[in-house]
Chain A
Amino acid sequence: NAGVTQTPKFQVLKTGQSMTLQCAQDMNHEYMSWYRQDPGMGLRLIHYSVGAGITDQGEVPNGYNVSRSTTEDFPLRLLSAAPSQTSVYFCASSPHRDRGFPISGNTIYFGEGSWLTVV
Chain B
Amino acid sequence: GIQVEQSPPDLILQEGANSTLRCNFSDSVNNLQWFHQNPWGQLINLFYIPSGTKQNGRLSATTVATERYSLLYISSSQTTDSGVYFCAVPTGGTSYGKLTFGQGTILTVHP
Query: A residues bordering B, Cβ < 8 Å?
Result: 30-33, 35, 40-45, 48, 50, 58-59, 88, 90, 92-98, 101, 105-108, 110, 112-113
Contact A94 B43 (CB under 8 A): no
Q: Which residues of A contact B68 (CB under 8 A)?
A: none
With beta carbons under 8 angstroms apart, the residue of B1, B86, B91, B98 that contacts A42 is: B86
15 A-B pairs (CB sep. < 8 Å) = A31-B95, A31-B96, A31-B98, A32-B97, A42-B86, A43-B88, A88-B41, A90-B43, A97-B94, A98-B94, A105-B48, A107-B96, A108-B45, A108-B97, A110-B43
Map CB proximity to A onto B72-111 as digits: 1 under 8 Å, 0 otherwise.
0000000000000010100101111111111110000000
Among B4, B45, B99, B100, find the residue whose CB has the most chain A CB atoms closer than 10 A: B99
Contact B94 A33 (CB under 8 A): no
Majority secondary structure of chain B interface residues (helix, strand, loop or mixed): loop
Let me know if B63 is at the binding interface, CB within 8 A: no
Known A-B contacts A105-B48, A113-B41; the reply to A42 vs B104 at CB < 8 A is yes
Report the count of interface residues on B (CB-CB < 8 A): 24
Contact B41 A94 (CB under 8 A): no
Q: Give Cα A88–Cα B84 distance, bound, in whole angstroms.
A: 14
Contact B45 A48 (CB under 8 A): no
Contact A94 B42 (CB under 8 A): no
Please, which residue of chain B has its CB at the minimum distance from the CB of A115?
A: B41
Known A-B contacts A33-B98, A50-B94, A96-B94; the reply to A41 vs B103 at CB < 8 A is yes
Please, which residue of chain B has its CB at the minimum distance from the CB of A33?
A: B97
Q: Give Cα A8–Cα B76 distance, bound, in whole angstroms.
A: 37
